Structure 1
Amino acid sequence: MRSHMGMTHIQTPPKWRTLLILGRASNVPTVWSNCLAGWLIGGMAEYIVLFWLCLGGTLLHIGGMYLNDAFDVGFDRRFRQERPIPAGHIEEKTVWILGSGAISGGFLCLLWGANVSLMIGLLLVASILLYDALHKHVSFSPVIMAACRFFLILAAFDSSGNPWQGSALWTAFAMAAYIVGLTYVARRESTGGGIAIWPCLFIAAPIGLSFLLNNGRFFWMGLMVSLVLLAWVVWCLQFILRSQNVQIFKTVSGLLAGIPLV
């Protein structure tokens, strides 16, 4: 913002910055970590498959975030006028086109590049679109968001072409549980209100599953990672569980950064 001759002018940010904000680009590495996890559990297919998984997952994430803002434009014009569309930094029609194109491109990358089955690909895309359309209207939207990460991991495993394994499903469930708790906390940032303790317990579910499912040499590896994850989660939750100076943003950003540990 700058002032000239008594008049205030608001500078429009560069288009590239607006696109990065819309796509929540800082969260893209968490998508790659999910793709890597599923790819490793599937037996490590060719590296080109991992490339297509990460590219497809990235496009689906960015497209989903674009459509999220497009669906939320009415709400944002009333309550979040700093968002790119109501602020006039980008046209709503452009966001719809870019979001739809990215979703379509990501879907094709998974199907044709990574050999993901049509059913898993459709379930992943359906989860993304369902969340975008409904997350402001239903209380169980954290479950829908969790489904997005659940099917992303399953898609990465499916690219291997190997028979389904319990390890893939349990890993996807662990990630989904973590996302349920994270999304619940994130919703409170925009809707306000107190934060209950019980949804936060979902965040610790991956730690419990690690103890139940890992054995032998994997038990000790899982234990070490679980302790690191536990310490990180406790540190993040301190910002919302203390009685004064609640900082939901710090908790959410920290929990997002912790996704690769899950």
Structure 2
Amino acid sequence: MGTLAASRLIGWRAALRLGRVSNLPTVWSNVIAGTMLAGGGSLATGLLTGIAMSLLYIGGMYLNDAFDRDIDSRERPSRPIPSGAASLQTVLLLGFGMLAVAVAMLASVSLAAGLTGLALAAAIVVYDLHHKTNPLSPFLMGLCRALVYLGAAASVGAVFATPVLFGAAVLFLFVAGLTLAAKQERLAKVSNIAPLLFLVSPLLLALPGLVSSWLVTGAALLLASAIGFALRLLHRRGSGDVGRAVGLLIAAIALVDALAAASTGSALATFACIALFPLTLLFQRYIPGT
């Protein structure tokens, strides 16, 4: 009995790697931006939503490893499941369990938040099941992030507010773009222009606010710098460049959120999102984000 119980335990290092928790700050910045685009909300609601979205993210990452176990056993045998650091049954149980708890938490806030959380959980499972073979998987990933905005907004009662829908669409394009860009062998080809347009879409849509808001200008400059450096790495494609570029672009989600927060005029929310960008990069040094 003791041996069986021990076999089901996951060490803390394996648990952190399974959850790819280094990218969690970008989920928190998503919640901040989505809440601000909806007009703001209470700290208690924001914290509950942030915890729920974190559980959805971590649970999704657990299921990603569970469903990719056969591929990982061939290509990445050091991942927790193929290496024996975590059992498949435990990872599946924890993954689905976290999704269920997160949806219940959001439902306790409002029906709209619960339904949005349920839609996000479903999108996560569909992505995890089919992302290796589905050419639309980058857009599914973008949808997952956009639903975080909608879930945060639903928690404060404004899921269909125009700024929320607009911000969710921009985040959708950026996240789809970073996934597509990482897969392109030659970004300079005209046929590969779509990922570049998706990546810079937040900057293009922020142009009207550049002359009227120093917050928007500052956030846009930071985001442009991060995108430019990542594209340089993707174009060069030296040893480790693609991984570094993808990690940087994932961290830059926080800067997209900062730009969204800046559009609301909230300096506090903008700076909070900006601060989560280097925090993500710091965490990625210790826990792989991809």
TM-score normalized with structure 2 length = 0.78
Q: 1:176 to 1:163 in 2, by over 3 A?
A: closer
Q: Is this contact kept in 2: 1:53–1:114, CA < 8 A?
A: no
Distance, in Å, in 2 between the alignment partners of 1:259 and 1:39 is 16
User: Residue by residue, what CA displacement relative to the aligned partner does 1:16-59 show, whole Å, maximum 9, x if unpaired?
Assistant: 00000000000111000000111112222111100111000000
Which residue does 1:194 correspond to in 2? 185
2:163 paired with 1:167: yes
CA distance in 2, matches of 1:98, 1:37: 28
Q: Residues 50 and 114 of structure 1 are in contact (CA less than 8 Å); yes or no, is this contact kept in structure 2? A: no
CA distance in 1, matches of 2:153, 2:177: 24
- Describe how 1:111-126 pairs up with structure 2 within 5 A: 111-113=107-109, 116-126=112-122
Are the structure 2 counterparts of residues 163 and 240 from structure 1 closer, same or farther at C-alpha, using a change threshold of 3 Å? Answer: closer
Instruction: Kindly report structure 1 stretches of 4+ aligned residues shifted beyond 4 Å.
Output: 243-246
Who is 1:240 aligned against?
Answer: 234
User: Which protein has greater RCO, CA pairs closer than 8 Å, 6+ apart?
Assistant: 2
Tell me whether 195-204 or 44-53 shows the greater mean CA deviation.
195-204
Match of 1:95 among 91, 94, 107: 91
Distance 1:216 1:237 in 2: 26
The correspondence for 1:250, drawn from 244, 247, 262, is: 244
Query: What is the CA-CA distance between 1:125 and the residue it aligns to?
Result: 1.2
Unaligned runs of 5+ in 1: 1-13
Residue 141 of structure 1 aligns with an amino acid whose one-letter code is S
**1:71 Cα offset (Å):** 0.7
Structure 1 CA distance for aligned equivalents of residues 210 and 221 of structure 2: 16
Corresponding residue for 1:84?
Answer: 80
Label 1:118 to 1:151 Cα distance change in 2 as closer, same or farther (>3 A): same
Is the 8 Å Cα contact of residues 150 and 159 (structure 2) preserved in structure 1?
Answer: no
In structure 2, runs of 5+ residues without a counterpart are 1-9, 257-290
The number of aligned residues is 242
Pairing partner for 2:59 from 57, 60, 63: 63
State the match for 1:15 in structure 2.
11
Evaluate the alpha carbon distance shift between residue 216 and residue 165 of structure 1 in structure 2; reply closer, same or farther with a 3 A threshold: farther
1:225 aligns with 2:219: yes
- What residue is the counterpart of 2:174 in the other structure? 178
Structure 1 residue 116 displacement after superposition: 4.0
- 1:70–1:224 distance in 2 versus 1, CA, 3 Å: same
Could you tell me which residue of structure 1 aligns to residue 124 of structure 2? 128
Partners of 2:237 and 2:135 lie apart in 1 by 25
User: Structure 1 residue 236: deviation in Å?
Assistant: 1.6
Q: 2:253 aligns with which of 240, 248, 259?
A: 259
Tell me the TM-score normalised to structure 1 length: 0.86
Identity fraction in percent = 35
> In the TM superposition, what is the alpha-carbon distance from 1:114 to its structure 2 partner?
6.1
1:151 aligns with 2:147: yes
C-alpha separation in 1, matches of 2:56 and 2:203: 28
User: Which of the two has greater helix per residue?
Assistant: 2
How big is the alpha-carbon RMSD for the aligned residues of Structure 1 and Structure 2?
Answer: 2.0
CA–CA separation in structure 1 for the residues paired with 2:238 and 2:250: 23
In structure 1, the residue matched to 2:39 is 43
Q: Which has the larger radius of gyration?
A: 1
